[in-house]
Amino acid sequence: MRGACHCGAVRFETRSAPGDASICHCGQCRRQSGGLWASANLPAADLSIEGEVRWFRASESARRGFCPVCGAFLFWQADGSPGIAFALGAVDGPTGFHDPPGIHVPDPAPTPAGPLHDSCLCGGVTVTFDPTPGEITACHCTQCRKISGHVPHSFDDPHRVARIAGRVATFTSPGGAVRSFCPICGTKVAFDGPSGLLSLEAGLFDQLAGRAPDLHIFTADKGDYYDLPEGASAYPGAGPD
Ligand SMILES: [Zn+2]
Ligand SMILES: [Zn+2]
Ligand SMILES: [Zn+2]
Output the CA 31–ligand 3 centroid distance in Å.
9
Output the CA 32–ligand 2 centroid distance in Å.
9
Query: For the segment 226-239, what is each residue's pLDDT rounded down to a tens digit?
Result: 999 999 999 999 98
Output the CA 52–ligand 1 centroid distance in Å.
9
Output the CA 95–ligand 3 centroid distance in Å.
30
- Kind and range of the H or E element at 147? helix 142-148
Query: For the segment 84-113, what is each residue's pLDDT rounded down to a tens digit?
Result: 999 999 999 999 999 999 999 988 877 766
pLDDT at 113: 66
Nearest to 207 by CA among 115, 131, 139, 103: 115
CATH class of 2-91: mainly beta
Domain ranges of the chain: 2-91, 116-221
Query: For the segment 107-157, what is each residue's pLDDT rounded down to a tens digit?
Result: 887 776 678 999 999 999 999 999 999 999 999 999 999 999 999 999 999
| Cα gap 195→215, rounded to integer Å | 20
Pair 220, 142: CB distance under 8 Å: no
The pTM assigned to this predicted structure is 0.95
CATH number belonging to the domain at 116-221, selected among 2.60.40.730, 2.60.40.10, 3.40.50.10470, 2.170.150.70? 2.170.150.70
Among the bound ligands, the one closest to the CA of 6: 1
